[in-house]
Structure formats: structure tokens, C-alpha cells
Homo-oligomer: A and B are copies of this chain.
Amino acid sequence: MPKIVQCVPNFSEGRDQDKIARIVEPLKNKEGFKLISVEPDGDYNRTVVTLLGDPEKIIEALIPFVGKVEEEIDMNHQSGEHPRMGAVDVIPFIPIDGVTMDECVGYAERVGEKINQAFDIPIFLYAEAARQKRRVKLPTIRKGEFEGMKEKIKDEKWVPDFGKAEIHPTFGVIGVGARNPLIAFNIDLDTAENKVANNIAKAIRGSSGGFAYIQAGPAFLEKRGHMQVTMNILDYKKNPIYRIVETVKMEAARYQVKVTSCEVVGLIPKDTIVRSLKYYYACEGKKLGDLSIDEITEEAMKILLFRDFDKLKIIEANM
């Protein structure tokens, strides 16, 4: 079975389209993996790149990619709404198929060491790849950002995992890690009241006492004219979609508000959808058989109310 990982490098340029095109050039049309998407955000001044495929080939291509970023971005003249500590800010590896989390930790370690050797950029290992507890959460590492990292890295608590205790003068540092797939998921409500969406978000998100692996908040969709509960599902096995959607329906009921549809941003693993379809089938005393990607797509739109969805949003449809 071929090993498939997802790799989502984030770099600190989201405005200059020419520059972005030059930066992603080393990731285009390569053998062994696909460049699934390049998503720049002007306000954030940041671009999210999604790669899917053979980890060895991805590691190989990441070196010239980081080299290109080093040429193109000087962090001393960069600003945007998204916090960042490096010109490439993070490189997470995500196990998708035929790969364990431990292997992804190994990929993070290898590419981290290679990048450090090639460009003298200090590397912090984070999430599952973290070697110290305080480095598990990215925001803890990133605190102080590029500007603060010059001093922070000299603190013995913040000696980098690869490289010397001195930032690269124009690039900064990179967080390289391994983590489970994160699903960006939104639930649409037939209300324009922020308070309702906010109360519902509080009910489901871990930080307010809700489900441990849910980060959620309210968002108003100007063009569509309604609120949604926007969330990251950090562990879809422990916090499956159906449970979140049903809990949102339950909370919404007290306001006479209904869930009208759901939205997946970026990619979603097939298994996430299948697990939730199984729940609704089981509630009706039925068993879910083996479905094709097309059938799963259709059922997800019908039963899970996914809107603006197509099969290419399912990771496995790109493999």
C-alpha cells in the first residue's frame, strides 16, 4: 500500500500574486504528490498550501520550496493579521493512508533537520512531534512572533530542536510538526442573531466546557444573510460530525432556530463522513453498506446537509 500524507505548509505572503506563484513553483506538477490547493488570504497576508501524496517526494520538494521563500520574503518587512514566526511559519504532516502518526513524526524530524542544514533556519518540533510538553501547542511556541523570537530563542527553554539559538535574520524560524487531520467545519443557522450563534458555539466548544476537540465561534455571512457556527474539529474520531451537528440542533431548538446546511472548508477524510452516515443509518435501524466516493458525496449532501460540496473535497478522491 502506498503511503499517503497530507502536508500543509503556511507561508507569510498572501497579497503579491506573482510572488506567491514563484514560491509555489517548486511544488507544482511533481511526481508522487499533488498540489491540491494554494489559498492566499490578503488580510492575514498568509498562504495555505495543501499537498497530498508520497511523503518522501513531498520532503524532497519542500527543500527548494523553503529556498524560494527565503529568497522572496523578508520578515523584517512583513505584517498581517495572522500571527507568524517565520517566512514559512509551519509545516505540519498529517497521516492519511498507510502511514502512522509515528511515521509522520519521523517525516517532521527529517525535513526539519534537512531545512536547518540547507538554510541555517532554526526548527521547533510541535504537536505530536514535540519533544517537550511546552512545545505541543503551536501558539505557545509562536508567542512573541518573528520580532520577539530574536530574544526568546536565547532563553534556555526555547533552544530550537534543530539549529543554533539564533533566528535566521530575514526568515525567522519554522514550526515543523505532525498532527491528526483537522476539519474546518461550519454549521449554518436560520438566524441573523449573533447572540444565538455565540451561545451555541459556547455550548459545543472545549474551552467553554463543551466537546474537548472543538474550537468554535459565531460568524455572520454577509452575502447569505445568516449566522453560522464556525469551527475546527481537531479530532473527528473523538468528536464526530453527527454529534456536533445534533448538539447544535438541540441547542438551537430553544431559540426556535434550525440548522439549514453545513459547510466543509478545505479537505475532509472519507472516514469522517462515513462514521457520521453510519450514525443516521443506525438510528433508522439500517446498516451502511460499502459506498463509492460518488455515493458518499451524495449521501453527505442529503443526510449531513453539506452545501457547496463535491467529491474533490474528500481527501481520498484526490488519491
Q: Interface residues, chain A, CB within 8 Å of chain B? A: 203, 206, 208-213, 235, 238-239, 243, 246-247, 250-251, 253-256, 279, 282-283, 285
Contact = CB atoms under 8 A, between A and B. Distances in A.
Contacts of A210: 211-212
Nearest to A212: B209
Given A203-B243, A243-B251, A238 B279 contact: no
Contacts of A243: 203, 247, 250-251
B282 A254 contact: yes
A203 to B, nearest CB: 7
A208 B247 contact: no
A202 to B, nearest CB: 9
Given A209-B212, A247-B243, A255 B238 contact: no
A208 B238 contact: yes
Given A250-B250, A254-B283, A283-B253, A209 B213 contact: yes
A255 B255 CA distance: 29
Top-4 shortest CB links A-B:
A209-B238, A254-B282, A209-B212, A253-B283
A255 to B, nearest CB: 7
A209 B214 CA distance: 9
A213 B238 CA distance: 16
A279 B18 CA distance: 54
A30 to B, nearest CB: 37
Nearest to A235: B209
Given A247-B247, A250-B243, A282-B255, A212 B206 contact: yes
B282 A239 contact: no
Contacts of A213: 209
A312 to B, nearest CB: 29
A208 B213 CA distance: 10
A240 to B, nearest CB: 9
A3 to B, nearest CB: 27
27 contacts: A203-B243, A206-B212, A208-B238, A209-B211, A209-B212, A209-B213, A209-B235, A209-B238, A209-B239, A210-B211, A210-B212, A211-B211, A212-B212, A243-B247, A243-B250, A243-B251, A246-B247, A246-B250, A247-B247, A247-B250, A250-B250, A253-B283, A254-B279, A254-B282, A254-B283, A255-B282, A256-B285
